[in-house]
């Protein structure tokens, strides 16, 4: 097995991008992650793109 050339790697990257872009949920998650990374840079804490579960106070407001 030889070393993949630049064109083969570019094609694999393009294929992965096509798959990622085909799913709206994945696109929204990527966008949210990118925004979180930009908003927190420079920082040492990892980005959390999930929302915490509602607290008791949140349940009482409804």
Show pLDDT as tens, one digit a residue, over the chain (62 residues).
Answer: 566 667 888 888 888 888 777 778 877 888 888 888 787 766 666 667 777 777 877 766 65
Please tell me the predicted confidence (pLDDT) of residue 26.
78
Encoding tokens for residue 52? Answer: 């915490």
Cβ pair 15, 5 in contact under 8 A: no
pTM tops 0.75: no
Encoding tokens for residue 48? Answer: 């959390």
Q: Scan for tokens 């083969």, then name that residue.
A: 8
Please tell me the predicted confidence (pLDDT) of residue 57.
78
């Amino acid at each position: 097995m030889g070393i993949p050339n630049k064109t083969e790697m570019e094609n694999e990257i393009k294929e992965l991008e096509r798959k990622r872009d085909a799913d709206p949920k994945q696109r929204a998650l990527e966008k949210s992650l990118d925004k979180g990374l930009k908003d927190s840079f420079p920082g040492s804490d990892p980005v959390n793109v999930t929302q915490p579960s509602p607290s008791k106070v949140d349940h009482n407001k409804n």
